[in-house]
Structure formats: structure tokens, C-alpha cells
Amino acid sequence: MAAIIELKYFNTFWLKKIKTITDVTPGVLNIAYASNSGTTIIFGGTASVNQISVGQEFTITYQIGGVVKKYTSTIVEAFPTVNPNPYFVAAVAPVDVIPVASPITFGKIIDFSNIPKAYIGTADSDWLIEESRIRGGYNNTSVDYGVKAYSVEDEPKQSHRFSGLIHSGIFNSRTGFNATNQFSVGEDITRTIDPANGSIQKLYAEDTNLIIFQESKVSKSLIDKDAIYSAEGVASVTSRNLVIGQNVAFGGEYGISTDPESFAVNGYRKYFTDRNQNVVCRLSMDGITPISNYGMTDFFRDKLSTAKSTGIFGGWDAHNKQYVLSIESTERSATRESFSTLSFDEGVKGWTSLFDYKPKQIFSLNNNYFTANAGKIYKHYTLAPNTSDRGVFYGITYNSNVTFVFNGAPSMVKNFQTINYEGDTAWRMVSFNTNTDKTLPITEAIFATTLEQMQNALLVNRFKLKEDKYFADLVNSTSSQNGEVVFGGSSSGVKGFFGEVKMEVNNANNAKKELFAVSTGFVQSS
């Protein structure tokens, strides 16, 4: 026997005002107090007060006997266009006799209980009838019950399906039929994705597929089609009268964990993090690839394992064509929170840059790159060359630096003697360290125009210009060891298998500073 479901019919209408509500601008509008009758506050003169509305806070500042006082209340009714004396009704009457010409300051709307009284005007077009459903027919000649009905659930129960999908009816743009508010229990409208892979964290529609990101798996569901597999396991896609078709998992045990904010897309490439596996992944036409393995395996293993529960944010930089990822760690240093913001470049298939800013959201729009921090949106790469505030992130100026490794003849113990670079002046060497030694820092070059500057250039360890290159000697700052002979107060050159150098430039003067190449001169250590 078929089940009997009780049906109830309804028609609910809402008459609402849609035009002529006033805009409210807080501030002093050059309005002076004239008089009051209880809660009725009258303005002096015919000042323009069109931007005064119901629910708005106001304050009248006045003096009695040399003592400054304030009367504050909210507006219950407003009559700003009445001539010759506009007035409004306050919620509470003043206790003092307020002197004439006392200034009135208006604030924000803080009380919404009387907002309908702010609707001014008599035009018929200001009013609209809106029904509670999409297909109502309120504008028909007559309104009847028709076939619009809903079922009554006597025992309502809440069910959480963390790995399930459900779809509504369809919208037919050709006929105008809209069934997106209908979920028919008599039709096959649900799909369950393998719950063993965790909850669904992200859905992304691509072509006619729905890509599903679970905590430990990524899969796709075919939309309006299904797959038929041959005996050899080859899939053939066929059309089918089914909204959500077969679910097909991508290879690899990777998911998005609980960090859907790490997701970013560019074309057919999708980027995301999997903190459970401590990897950063890319989903493309060739499947899932852990891009954190491009020289950054140890880095992301450490960072993702200590990341905050809501501390991973990713996005696509349309300006530089890079995937930008920011990871905030639970571990903190003494001076600042520990976070890392870095970018991945498909052109070199590697992680190219580290940044000093910590965004809470990353996105691109109209080929412009934006990040959000502390409730504000910042646009990057905004100003023309040679005029921008370079290195300024969220109002703070940072120096730009480049760190790289010299590792020629890796099996040879070398004595690094000089360093030189091609580029603009203003670059300085912060450090040059080997596996055994380190050097004194080298300051930026100057163009000496006086005798004092020439003497200073000779005495200070700085870069010097020669044949369109800047060069300097490397002065060892490591304490001498037993058996070493040191001539004078310092020794030239540093020993080691490799050298790690850090070049830095000060962005305070906003000028463009290019760094084209850096090299070093070395000999085999004796």
C-alpha cells in the first residue's frame, strides 16, 4: 500500500517598499537646535537635512552655567523636508532646557525597530508584492490554491551527511520553468561519496564534471552522463538522464584535509594542500602531482605539520602567474608569529619567492592580484615603475633580499676570495657563509665626490665599481683555529665546500634596484 502524506496549501504575500529610503551620512550637517516639545526636536531655519533617517543616533552639545553637557538619543520619526522648520521625534526627551543654536551631530543607524517609518513618498511604483515562493502567480487575475502544496513531517529529524551530495530540480531557461526550490523525495537526487575518505570540503565545477575534494581523496562525478567500462577496463562516456553520474577517483592518496582555503585554480590546474600527507598538490590533466617535492619536501613537512587549524591560505596570482601559499604555524618566535608565504612558478617548476606579508585571503580579479588582511583588501603591483612604494606590504616597508648558493666544484675545498655583482648600486651583502667560515658584511657602493668620501671608501668594507661591475674582497670573520696563520687583524677569503650568500637592498627610497648576476672568485684551498 502506498504511503499517505498529508498536504497543506499556502499563499503568503509580502507588501514591501523598495524605493525612496534615505541614505544616512554620519557627521555634523550644520544644523542648529531651535526648540522642542517633549520628544519633538525642531531645527532652526530651513537647513538641508535630507540625510536624516529613522533609527539614527544624534547628539546635541550645549552649555549650562559654563558646564558642557550632551543630550543623546535616537530618531523615532523624521520629517526633514517640512518647511519652514524641519523636525524629528526622539526616543527620549531631554531633561534640561537646551539653549537655542546648540549644534546637532548625527551618527549611524543603531535602532532598526522603526525603520518602516523612514519610507517616504507616495508613488505607486514604490510598492511591490512578493510571494514566498518562486512560482506563485500573485499577479494573476485571481489567486487560488492550485497545485502548490507542501508536505508535513510529523517527526522532523536532522541528518548530517558529511560525504553526501543532493541536488534540486532544474531551471529551464527556454521555458522559464524553475524547480530549483524543489527536492523531490520520489526521485534519485542523492549521491554518497566514499565516507572512508572523510568529509567533502570543496566542490569545483569543471566543464561537465564536478570535482570533489574530500579530506583524504579527490574524485570527480560525471554530470548528465555516465561511464561504461569495457572488459579491458577502458571507460566510455555515454549520455544519461541523470544529474549526478558515476564517481571516479583520481590516483594517489591525496586530499585537501580540512583546508579548502588552500584551493586555487588556473585553467585546468588546481592547487591545494594536504596537511595529513604534508604535501602541496597540483591536479591537472595528468592527475595529481605533489609539487612540494620540487626541492621543498622537508620545508613543507615541517610547516604543514605545525600549521594552525585555520592557518593555510592559497590563491592564484594572475599578475605573476604563480600559485601563492601562506602557512601560519602554531610555533612562534619571541618577536613575531611564525608564518611563511611563498610562490610556485610553473615556468621553472619550482618555488621561487618568499614574501613578508601574511594574508587571510588570496585572489585575482580582472588580471589584478589582491590579498586581504585585518578586514582590508590590498591590491598588489599597483604603481608605475620607479614611483611605487617597493617592498611595502600592509603599510610596512620591508627590505628585498636574495639568497643563493655557490657550489662550483662541489668536491673541492675552496677559498672564496672575492664577490662581485652586476646591477644597480645600493645592493649590499648581508652575509657570506660556508660550512666552516663566515665573512664580514659588505656595504653598498658610493660614488665618491669629496676627499672624505674617497678616504671612507678605502677604509670601509664596501663594494667598488670597476668595468661596470661591483666587486669587493671577502674578509673572514671566523675566529682563527689551531694551526692557522693570520696576517694582520683579518684574513682574506673564506674556506669551505660551498658558499651561501645573501644580498639585500633597502626599499626606503622607493627606487628600482635591479640585480642581474652575482659571482665569486675562488681558488683551491691550500
Q: Do 357 and 417 share a domain, yes or no?
A: no
Give the domain-ending residue among 348, 382, 416. Answer: 382
Q: Flag whether 114 is in a domain.
A: yes
Give the domain-ending residue among 87, 118, 149. Answer: 118
Q: Flag whether 436 is in a domain.
A: yes
Q: Do 347 and 469 share a domain, yes or no?
A: no
Residues 18 and 127: beta-carbon distance below 8 Å = yes
Q: Flag whether 463 is in a domain.
A: yes
Q: Do 310 and 355 share a domain, yes or no?
A: yes
Residues 288 and 281: beta-carbon distance below 8 Å = yes
Give the domain-ending residue among 56, 88, 118. Answer: 118
Q: Flag whether 216 is in a domain.
A: no
pLDDT of residue 361: 93
- Partner residues linked to 200 by β-bridges: 214
pLDDT of residue 429: 93
Q: CB count, 10 Å around CB of 159? A: 5
pLDDT of residue 151: 63
Q: Do 434 and 497 share a domain, yes or no?
A: yes
**Residue 362's Cα: distance from chain center in Å?**
3
**Residue 351's Cα: distance from chain center in Å?**
20
CATH of the domain at 66: 2.40.10
Q: Flag whether 256 is in a domain.
A: yes
CA nearest neighbour of 312 among 269, 348, 270, 271: 271
Q: Do 368 and 405 share a domain, yes or no?
A: no
Per-residue pLDDT of the chain (526 residues; tens, 9 = 90+): 455 555 555 556 666 555 444 455 566 567 788 899 899 998 876 555 656 778 888 999 999 998 999 999 998 888 877 777 888 899 999 999 999 989 888 888 887 776 555 444 444 445 555 555 545 555 565 555 555 555 666 776 777 888 888 888 877 778 878 888 788 777 778 888 889 999 999 999 988 889 999 999 999 988 876 544 444 444 455 555 677 878 889 999 999 999 999 999 999 999 999 999 999 999 999 999 999 999 999 999 999 999 998 899 999 999 999 999 999 988 765 545 588 999 999 999 999 999 989 999 999 998 899 999 988 999 998 865 555 677 888 888 888 899 989 988 888 898 999 999 999 888 999 999 998 888 889 988 877 677 776 766 666 788 988 888 999 989 888 877 666 665 545 567 888 999 999 999 988 777 778 899 999 989 888 7
What residue numbers bound the domain in which 102 lies?
27-118
d(CA 28, CA 483): 81
Q: Flag whether 243 is in a domain.
A: no
DSSP structure string for 22-84: PP---EEEEEEEEEEETTEEEESS----TT--TTEEEEEEEEETTEEEEEEEEEEEEETT-SS
Residues 412 and 497: beta-carbon distance below 8 Å = yes
Question: In the 3-class helix/strand/coil scheme, how is 404-436 assigned residue by residue?
Answer: EEECCCCCCCEEEEEEEEEECCCEEEEEEEECC
Task: Reply yes or no: is the peptide bond before residue 84 cis, omega within 30 of 0.
Answer: yes
Q: Do 311 and 373 share a domain, yes or no?
A: yes
pLDDT of residue 192: 85
Q: Do 342 and 458 share a domain, yes or no?
A: no
Q: Do 412 and 346 share a domain, yes or no?
A: no
Q: Do 333 and 450 share a domain, yes or no?
A: no
The number of domains in the chain is 3
Q: Do 443 and 501 share a domain, yes or no?
A: yes
Q: Do 460 and 356 share a domain, yes or no?
A: no
CA nearest neighbour of 220 among 201, 203, 241: 203
Q: Flag whether 14 is in a domain.
A: no
> Residue type for 257, please?
S
pLDDT of residue 86: 82
Q: Flag whether 128 is in a domain.
A: no
